[in-house]
């Protein structure tokens, strides 16, 4: 098989689009993958969704190194994130410039975007990169994160008291939207949500101050789940599928809007 990432021949492997490490694999509970459209229904999984026709072992190894780094930084060591205080108010968390690897973290996010675009899995059919896919493929293969503005990444996380479903590994499928007229794709990993700009224009104010940069601290701003577009997606699925949702998700989502 010709690897879609490396463009080299090799044996195909089952490649996770979103690494299984970002799913709660506790034997007592199954994670929940939540749809982002009215025709997508929840699927419980402890291993996530994978594609056996995307990459070879060589390509998967590139993904694995990036996935491992991001998981350790964002999930396994989430307790190491320091409070981010702005004008005397706690607004999120972060790390100093020398405490995170800009290249690895940004390439992780770009690799997720590329995987979602190139997989044939229906769950990710809202991600269509067109000519951007080849540019991002080359960036990932060559280990080149590009400039801050090139496919800029802006991370957020759900507020602590509203993040329970997502800390348990529930995911909402990625989707495209506009941010002040700029095209972005929004992804979800545990309690984190991040935006990747797929637009040649500059990231608009004030979001440009939050995008990943090798010269700035890593900052994750907290945002509410209740009243958010994500809450509306979850509410739609709750209304149609309450019998299929796990009890912990129903309880945690009662007051989402």
Question: Residue 168 CB: number of other CB atoms within 10 A?
Answer: 20
Q: pLDDT (tens digit, 9 = 90+) per residue, 59-82?
A: 999 999 999 999 999 989 988 999
Residue range 228-239: mean pLDDT, rounded: 62
Q: pLDDT band at 86, cuts 50/70/90?
A: confident
Averaged confidence pLDDT in the chain: 82
Q: Is the pLDDT of residue 178 over 90?
A: yes
Q: Is the pLDDT of residue 175 over 90?
A: no
Q: What is the pTM of this model?
A: 0.82
What's the pLDDT at 65? Answer: 96
What's the pLDDT at 158? Answer: 80
Q: pLDDT (tens digit, 9 = 90+) per residue, 88-135?
A: 888 889 999 999 999 999 999 999 999 999 998 887 888 999 999 999
What is the secondary structure of 109-124 as a DSSP string? HHHHHHHHHH---GGG
Q: Which residue has the higher pLDDT, 232 or 29?
A: 232
CB 123 within 8 A of CB 51: no
What is the secondary structure of 84-144 as a DSSP string? EEETTEEEEEEE-GGGS-HHHHHHHHHHHHHHHHH---GGGTT---TTHHHHHHHHHHHT-
Contact residues for 221 (Cβ-Cβ < 8 A; gap 6+): 84, 91, 92, 155, 156, 157, 210
What's the pLDDT at 34? Answer: 53
Q: pLDDT (tens digit, 9 = 90+) per residue, 187-225?
A: 888 788 899 999 999 999 999 999 999 999 999 988 876
The Cα 14–Cα 7 span in angstroms is 17
Q: pLDDT (tens digit, 9 = 90+) per residue, 14-55?
A: 998 888 777 654 445 555 555 554 444 445 444 567 899 999
Strands 43-45 and 31-34 turn out to be: antiparallel
């Amino acid at each position: 098989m010709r690897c879609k990432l490396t463009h080299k021949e090799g044996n195909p492997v089952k490649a996770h689009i979103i690494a299984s490490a970002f799913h709660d694999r506790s034997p007592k509970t199954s994670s929940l993958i939540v749809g982002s459209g009215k025709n997508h229904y929840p699927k419980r999984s402890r291993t996530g969704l994978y594609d056996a026709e995307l990459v070879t072992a060589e390509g998967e190894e590139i993904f694995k190194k990036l996935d491992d780094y991001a998981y350790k930084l964002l999930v396994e060591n989430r307790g190491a994130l320091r409070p981010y205080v702005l004008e005397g108010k706690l607004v999120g968390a972060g790390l100093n410039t020398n405490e995170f690897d800009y290249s690895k973290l940004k390439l992780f996010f770009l690799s997720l975007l590329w995987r979602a675009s190139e997989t044939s899995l229906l769950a990710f059919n809202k991600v269509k990169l067109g000519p951007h896919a080849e540019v991002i493929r080359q960036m990932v293969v060559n280990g080149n994160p590009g400039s801050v503005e090139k496919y800029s990444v802006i991370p957020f996380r759900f507020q602590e008291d509203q993040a329970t479903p997502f800390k348990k590994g529930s995911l909402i499928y990625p989707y495209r939207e506009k941010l002040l007229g700029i095209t972005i794709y929004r992804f979800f990993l545990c309690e984190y949500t991040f935006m990747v700009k797929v637009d040649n224009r500059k990231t608009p104010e004030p979001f440009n101050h939050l995008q990943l940069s090798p010269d700035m601290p890593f900052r994750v701003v907290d945002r509410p789940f209740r009243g958010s577009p994500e809450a509306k997606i979850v509410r739609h699925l709750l209304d149609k599928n309450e019998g299929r949702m796990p009890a912990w998700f129903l309880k945690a989502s009662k007051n989402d809007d």
